[in-house]
Amino acid sequence: MAPTYPFNEPGDDVRLYEGSLFGPAERAARGRVLLRCGSRLEVVWRLDEPPPQELVAQVLLEGEIRLRIHQASAVHEVAGLRRNSTEGLVHGQSMGDESAPLRRVLLHWMNLPAFHSPTRICLDDGSWWNGRWRFPIGPWQLTLDTRQDHARVWEVLGSEHNFAMTHVMEVTRSDDGEFTAADFELLRQTLHFGVSFALGRWVGPAAPVGISAAGSIAWQQWAAVFCVPGRNGGLAWLHHTRSHDLQEFLSCAYRAFIDPDRTHTTRLLLSMAIEANHSGRVEQRTMTAFSALELLSWVVLKLTSGFSRTKYDALRADGRIRMLLERARVDTSVDATRQPTLMQFAIAESSSDVPLDGPDAVKEIRNRLVHPNIPQDEVYHLDGLVTDAWLLSRHYLNLLILHWLDYRGSYQTVLGPGGWAGDSDPVPWASDVNQNR
């Protein structure tokens, strides 16, 4: 399957458009629109040569500008920002009619690992290729093709920490019917947020292109999607070889995204879980994960289960998290083997012979970070204590999101070193007949 925009070398720009950008046809300033793939992923415009002074005076004196993109179907006005007289940024926006009937959409994925495919394809040269994965999500049929030099590109991404188009995905309706860009939007969000959450880092389904039944481009979108450079995958709860589990998770996430009562919460929880992996210092990550746990507690216990405000407040933060974990059959004790520093803290802070459990220990450390009684409260006296609290809060958050979404597949722990890459176990509630979210 050929992408609309050719596969790039890591760090090289992807050319989205080449032609006239400004001015009347007889004096048009020509240039390109590029998906820049260096240290940041962004859509930029760039002129081939400095424009004449009269054109600068007409369209390039203000910071906000309007590009004129000439395509076969129409001329589109695209908003952008000027950095200087020859280049600038393109605002994220769509071109074409979002209600136009489409037969398929092509997505250009950035920085994905080589997912395992259950099928093998015989190529024209007689060799076998297992880089195509076809799977359904709700009413959609998805086909994901890996670029054939993925192994080489993946190695470069690991050393240069930039961006490359690693896959192209075709999206159609399972019944081969037509749909619109608006119909496709929630699936796009499911794929972006869902795959990123599974891998523990932002990955990007970039530059979608909608194609009509006649084979012409009827709609496309240029935007800088959230995506981190490189290929770091050490914080993933799902190993990339377990594509069947990814399919199940995306199906669960899609059901939540298309439910109007759950769309916003799903998007916010997944984004907070992803941000809790990488953004800022470990203290910030801990507070982000704990805030997401509090949001999920409110949604499940107050809004869904109907707890009164008095009953909800009486549980306190650790009690609410503990209740959710017990509903999901998740062990609430501290693992002394994986987290010896946190166990040391749990023993020292307990008022009885029984150490604090995980929810209580995480809550105590979070409270000392947010409401310290002295300039440096007792969280830095044990080397690695805050890191242990971050890892455990992430572990709880990942599992409770999966439980809330009714996922029943496998899970690999994110608590720290131990075992082999790809070691996974069924989620604790996998055998429950009637799951209570």
240-268: per-residue pLDDT in tens?
A: 889 999 999 999 999 999 999 999 999 99
Model confidence over 8-42: pLDDT tens digits? Answer: 999 999 999 999 888 666 567 889 999 999 989 99
Q: 415 pLDDT exceeds 70? A: yes
What is the share, in percent, of the chain residues with pLDDT greater than 90? 70
pLDDT at 363: 96
128-183: per-residue pLDDT in tens? 888 899 999 999 999 999 999 999 999 999 999 999 999 999 999 999 999 999 99
Q: With 60 as the cut, is the pLDDT of residue 436 above it?
A: no
Q: What is the pLDDT, as a whole number, of residue 57? A: 59
**How much is the pLDDT for 395?**
96
Contact (CB, 8 A) for 80 and 90: yes
Q: How far apart are CA 396 and CA 325, in angstroms?
A: 8
**Chain segment 322-378, per-residue pLDDT in tens:** 999 999 999 999 999 999 999 999 999 999 999 999 999 999 999 999 888 776 667
- Whole-model pTM? 0.93
- In angstroms, what CA-CA distances link 183 with 69, 84, 180, 258? 25, 38, 5, 10
- Compute CA 33 distance to the chain's CA centroid, rounded to the nearest angstrom: 25
